[in-house]
């Protein structure tokens, strides 16, 4: 891989269908724009359809002829996830790429419609369910891929199996780290199960470093000044932050199981490169336990065999 892979290196995407969650702003908006400009049909999965339509219009203004479709998806609500997936399948869209990009960071303790901690629900469980519901359709795609967007903050995370909802020990960033660690554990375990099933689908992961997006908008008031300072002094643009996930989604040489992040110091900013995951994320017993819990909490079972 070039040390400075950019959006200009994205291969032609004509004929491909790409679903991008959280596509109305930040990294998702950039990803939708760049993929559409390369010829992909992009389904912009958004919680707020009005904001999604505005984002699609903005993309269309900069990339005339962009093939975009806005569909509602609230990843924190598993009923919404099922409804979205059912409609995708019923309409025969047959996605080639699923970019699990949407996320929430650092809100006060909040429970989802199904009673799960909001960050775990939106960042992990929703994407786990969506991937499982669309996996068979993805297997018929061209160079099919699932790209799960995590964070360098996953290195601080662990799975609180005894308190997944944060009832007894919630901290906004503590449970954000849990959700991002879950993203990595899921992405790696998905890769192992896909390989064992000899599936054509690749499971890749990416993180943006520190990027200037609206992700910290849900921070508690006490944390907002810290977030503002970090973003103003260290963040790169969303255009650069989206490059690792775009590389994972499109680069021919990107292999299943790989994790991409910025090449700068401490992976804060820069261009895409292979980066290490937290070593504990490769624990097969942990992965199997998280997978089992995720199937139980979402009601979505994969047709893949368990990893050896």
Confidence at residue 216, expressed as pLDDT on a 0 to 100 scale: 52
Contacts of 126 (CB under 8 A, 6+ apart): 74, 75, 76, 77, 78, 81, 102
Q: Find out whether 95 and 145 touch, Cβ atoms under 8 Å.
A: no
DSSP state of 10: P
Give the integer Cα–Cα distance in Å for 4 and 271.
5
Phi, then psi, of 210 in degrees rounded to 5: -105, 110
Confidence at residue 229, expressed as pLDDT on a 0 to 100 scale: 42
Cα 143 → chain centroid: 18
pLDDT tens digit string along 180-200?
999 999 999 999 999 999 999
Confidence at residue 220, expressed as pLDDT on a 0 to 100 scale: 57
Q: Find out whether 90 and 71 touch, Cβ atoms under 8 Å.
A: no
Helix, strand or coil, per DSSP, at residue 37: helix
Confidence at residue 307, expressed as pLDDT on a 0 to 100 scale: 75
Angle, in degrees to the nearest 10, between helices 126-138 and 284-298: 90
Task: Identify the segments of the chain with pLDDT beneath 50.
Answer: 1-2, 224, 227-230, 232
Q: Find out whether 13 and 35 touch, Cβ atoms under 8 Å.
A: yes
Structural tokens at position 121: 């629900």
pLDDT tens digit string along 91-125?
999 999 999 999 999 999 999 999 999 999 999 99
Confidence at residue 225, expressed as pLDDT on a 0 to 100 scale: 55
Helix, strand or coil, per DSSP, at residue 170: coil
Helix, strand or coil, per DSSP, at residue 149: strand
Angle (CA) 85 77 194, round 5° = 50
What superfamily does domain 7-298 belong to in CATH? NAD(P)-binding Rossmann-like Domain (3.40.50.720)
Give the integer Cα–Cα distance in Å for 296 and 186.
15
pTM of the predicted structure, to 2 decimals: 0.93
The HSE-up count of residue 33 (CA atoms within 13 Å, CB side) is 24
Confidence at residue 77, expressed as pLDDT on a 0 to 100 scale: 98
Q: Kindly list the catalytic residues.
A: 176
Longest distance between any two alpha carbons in the chain, whole Å: 51
Which of 46-53's residues contact partners 24+ apart within 8 Å by CB, and which partners? 46/22, 46/70, 46/71, 46/72, 46/73, 47/22, 47/72, 47/73, 47/74, 47/75, 47/102, 48/24, 51/24, 51/25, 52/23, 52/24
Domain layout of the chain by residue ranges: 7-298
Sheet of strand 202-206: strand arrangement: 67-72, 41-46, 17-21, 97-100, 145-149, 202-206, 259-262, 272-274
Helix, strand or coil, per DSSP, at residue 32: helix
């Amino acid at each position: 891989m070039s040390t400075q892979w950019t959006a200009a290196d994205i291969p032609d995407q004509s004929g491909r269908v790409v679903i991008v969650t959280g596509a109305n702003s930040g990294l998702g908006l950039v990803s939708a724009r760049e993929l559409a400009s390369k010829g992909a049909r992009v389904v912009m999965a958004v919680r707020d359809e009005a904001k999604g339509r505005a984002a699609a219009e903005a993309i269309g203004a900069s990339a005339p002829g962009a093939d975009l479709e806005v569909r509602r998806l609230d990843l924190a609500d598993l009923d919404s996830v099922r409804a979205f997936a059912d409609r995708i399948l019923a309409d025969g869209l047959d996605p080639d790429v699923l970019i699990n990009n949407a996320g929430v960071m650092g809100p006060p303790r909040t429970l989802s419609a199904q009673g799960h901690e909001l960050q775990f629900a939106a960042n992990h469980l929703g994407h786990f369910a969506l991937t499982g519901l669309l996996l068979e359709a993805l297997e018929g795609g061209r160079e099919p891929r699932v790209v799960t967007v995590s964070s360098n903050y996953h290195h601080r995370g662990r799975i609180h199996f005894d308190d997944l909802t944060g009832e007894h020990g919630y901290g906004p960033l503590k449970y954000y780290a849990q959700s991002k660690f879950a993203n990595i554990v899921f992405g790696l375990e998905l890769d192992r199960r896909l390989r064992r099933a000899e599936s054509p689908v690749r499971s890749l992961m990416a993180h943006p470093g520190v990027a200037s997006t609206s992700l910290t908008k849900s921070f508690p008031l006490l944390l907002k000044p810290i977030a503002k300072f970090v973003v103003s002094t260290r963040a790169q643009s969303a255009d650069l932050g989206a490059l690792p996930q775009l590389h994972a989604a499109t680069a021919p040489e990107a292999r299943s199981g790989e994790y991409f992040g910025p090449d700068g110091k401490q992976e804060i900013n820069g261009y895409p490169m292979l980066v290490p995951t937290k070593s504990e994320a490769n624990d097969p017993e942990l992965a199997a336990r998280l997978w089992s819990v995720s199937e139980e909490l979402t009601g979505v079972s994969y047709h893949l065999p368990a990893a050896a």
